[in-house]
Amino acid sequence: MTYRDRARGCLLGLAAGDALGAPAENLTPPEIRRRWGRLTEIEGGGTDDTEYAIFAASLLVRHGHALTSADVAHAYRTEIIPRVTGPMRGAGFSELGTIEALRRGLEPPLTGLVHQHGWSDGLAMRAAPYGVFCPGDPAEAARLVEEDGRVSQSGEGVLGGRAVAGAVAAAMTGAAPHEVVAAALSVIPADSWTARDIVRARDVIVASDADVARDSAFARDSDASSDVELPVVEALHQAVVVEHYPWTDVAPEAVALALAAYLAGGGDVEATVTFGVSLGRDADTIGAIAGAIAGAGQGRDGVPERWASRIGPVTGKCLPVVAGRHVLDVADELAEGL
């Protein structure tokens, strides 16, 4: 399988996971089961997750391994801020805070520190292109994504992005799921919130009956599937979810749940993504991260065609600068730069 095929699988999987999870964002697993049984079909378009991933990829295409935080800040000031004439529809807290910090003339890393939302999953949701760009080199993928992250994130928000980029870099070589998770852990401190959550989530999947978890992910009977996986979902929530916090875009939580879904799905794109969005919380971001990692491992043909056919050019509803871009074209550009 070529790197181009894996790049296409990664970004197409990201877009599909984003779109599939969008209607379940901020819902609980019981509410998702009540409405859909199991979410398996894409109903609408994606969110800022896909648009920001495209924007991140464009930075890599232009700057490659020389990318710096100053380059990212410049791109925000020249390509994003001039087009923000009203509310940034669908943008996350960290990105909104960053826009205001840049408007005030601040520079990274202060731009990622002053808005108090540096722990959000805004970097993790757009980290996949960095892994695509560094196949087999999780450390370099993590280094590059941190250059991006210093503009909008801090602390655990940066670590979440590093973990996702490292995981995708490993998946781009066809590594087994447990090796991919190990790669994610290898690029973040062991004594960090993000690492502890990933380990807890991994242990839940390992301790559960992996075959049952995977069978439930593949099940076509949505009610039966939900019933079988319910104990695993509950255990994952108990292990990593910050129940008392009013927002769901917590990077350590979203990254850990996405990697758990990837393990539960055995690396299969459909099984991984449908399990991931069934977890609720920041479901579109969990789906996007899980889909990106699984797609990098399985390639373009690993993404179900019924999902792929629903993915069109992005509308630019959050980032007008990327309007009209398609993730497959973006993936080809990344692959050409390898």
The predicted-structure confidence for 207-218, as pLDDT tens digits, reads as follows 986 545 455 544
Position 224 scores a pLDDT of: 46
What's the DSSP call for residue 281? S
Range(s) of the domain holding residue 161: 3-336
Position 88 scores a pLDDT of: 63
Helix (H, G, I), strand (E, B) or coil at 138: helix
Q: Alpha-carbon dihedral of residues 107, 123, 42, 32, nearest 10 degrees?
A: -120
Q: What six digits make up the tokens of 204?
A: 């839940």
Measured between alpha carbons, how far is residue 254 from residues 114, 153, 201, 221, 237 in Å? Answer: 22, 15, 11, 26, 11
Position 243 scores a pLDDT of: 82
Q: How far apart are CA 147 and CA 302, in angstroms?
A: 31
Q: How far apart are CA 117 and CA 160, in angstroms?
A: 13
Prediction pTM value = 0.94
Nearest CA to 185 out of 213, 208, 165 is that of 165
Tally of domains in the chain: 1
Looking up tokens 């790669």, which residue turns up? 183
The low-confidence residues of the chain, meaning pLDDT below 70, are: 86-90, 209-228
Helix (H), strand (E) at residue 151: helix 138-152
Which residue type, as a one-letter code, is found at position 296? Answer: A
Q: How far apart are CA 335 and CA 41, in angstroms?
A: 29
Q: What six digits make up the tokens of 261?
A: 């879904």
Position 118 scores a pLDDT of: 86
The domain spanning residue 149 has which CATH number? 1.10.4080.10
